[in-house]
Amino acid sequence: MTICALFPGQGSQYIGMCSDLLNNEPEAMLIFAEASEVVGFDLRTLILAGSLEQLTQSEYAQPAVLTASYARFDSFVRRTGITPDYAIGHSLGEIAALVAAGALKFGDAVRFTAARGALMHQAIQEQKGRAGIVVDMSQAELESIVTNIRETHYVTISGYNSPNQFVVAGEAIGLRLLDDIVDRAGGEFIPFRMMPMKADAPYHSELMQFIQPEMEAMVSKLSFFTPEFSICSTVNGKFIRETEEIPRLLTDQLLQPIHWIQALAQVQRMGATTWMDVGPSQSVRNMLAEYDTSIIAYSLDDPHDHSKLLEICKAEIQTYRGGEAR
């Protein structure tokens, strides 16, 4: 069994996430207590009894999703004794993957994501641009449309979520043009302003360059360590080979598209057989299904999936121990 752990990004948060862990596992409570001390507010109360409006704001959503993802991962490892062979993180999820792999300390990551979220929120306040999702259109078709619009207005593909689902970002007028052209071509453009879980800002595009100096300063204060398992970065769709690469990846993350399907393809070629959606909701499990319908992924946030995966891991451990005995 070769496991790839998948960590979601912002937008996967919801009120009540991790309630099962917080009500039953003292270790999870300690993880949330540490995060709360770092950010200076009660993260547990926000998640269990707060408002979705507040939880969706980047400065709250990012440390919340990071903490929920890490708590899920920690619980799985404690219950099975198994660590993944590979990991992929969707934007913010890459920071969670680094924490899970021991490449970044949890407390440092919580502090960083809260500050990162506050910086990203500025893009909304200062109306730097907008974003949305294009569905039911091939990558080649969308790239051609984007290339033509960019002759006059800035738009870009800012995320490759699946072979027919892409995040786009850009100037408002450029996205209006894109909406018209995509509609005529048989696709659909869904603005993030129509999606309550999404932050309507041009993340992962050149319009985020205004935060680059502060991002570089924040990343320079972090310490990084050799990952305990392989991480394929969605910043460039390649495996992290050296610890020295990590600061630049995190610094450039919000300027580069999310190469999600490219990272999935890399890990798939390495022979991953078991795919595990670690964080809240089932967003990355669903994106994986759109990427390749033959792949079965298990969400730790889905009770049925969780139980099934634990059974698979238990059987794997018993088989391994039986082989040792022989």
User: Residue 159: what pLDDT?
Assistant: 97
* 130-194 classified as CATH 3.30.70.250: yes
pLDDT score of 175 more than 60: yes
List, in order, residues 6 or more apart from 80 with CB less than 8 Å away: 310, 313, 314, 317
Ordered by start, the domain boundaries in the chain are 3-125+205-325, 130-194
Q: Percentage helix, strand, coil, to 5, in the chain?
A: 55, 15, 30
pLDDT score of 127 more than 90: no
Residue 323: pLDDT band (50, 70, 90) is low
Residue 93: pLDDT band (50, 70, 90) is very high
CA 100 to chain centre: 13
CA–CA separation, 39 and 72 (whole Å): 20
Query: Mean pLDDT throughout 192-204?
Result: 84
CA 126 to chain centre: 24
User: Roughly what angle, to the nearest 10 degrees, separates helices 212-220 and 106-125?
Assistant: 170
HSE-up of residue 230 (Cα within 13 Å, Cβ side): 18
pLDDT score of 326 more than 70: no
HSE-up of residue 8 (Cα within 13 Å, Cβ side): 28
Query: Mean pLDDT throughout 62-70?
Result: 97
Neighbours of 322 (CB within 10 A): 9
Token pair of 113, please?
């994501």
Tell me the C-alpha to C-alpha distance, in Å, between residue 242 and each of 108, 217, 226: 20, 21, 8
Backbone angles phi, psi at 163, to 5 degrees: -60, -15
Contact 295, 265 (CB under 8 A): no
Tell me the C-alpha to C-alpha distance, in Å, between residue 228 and each of 7, 31, 275: 16, 20, 18
User: Residue 325: what pLDDT?
Assistant: 40
Homologous superfamily of domain range 3-125+205-325:
Malonyl-Coenzyme A Acyl Carrier Protein, domain 2 (3.40.366.10)
Predicted model pTM:
0.94
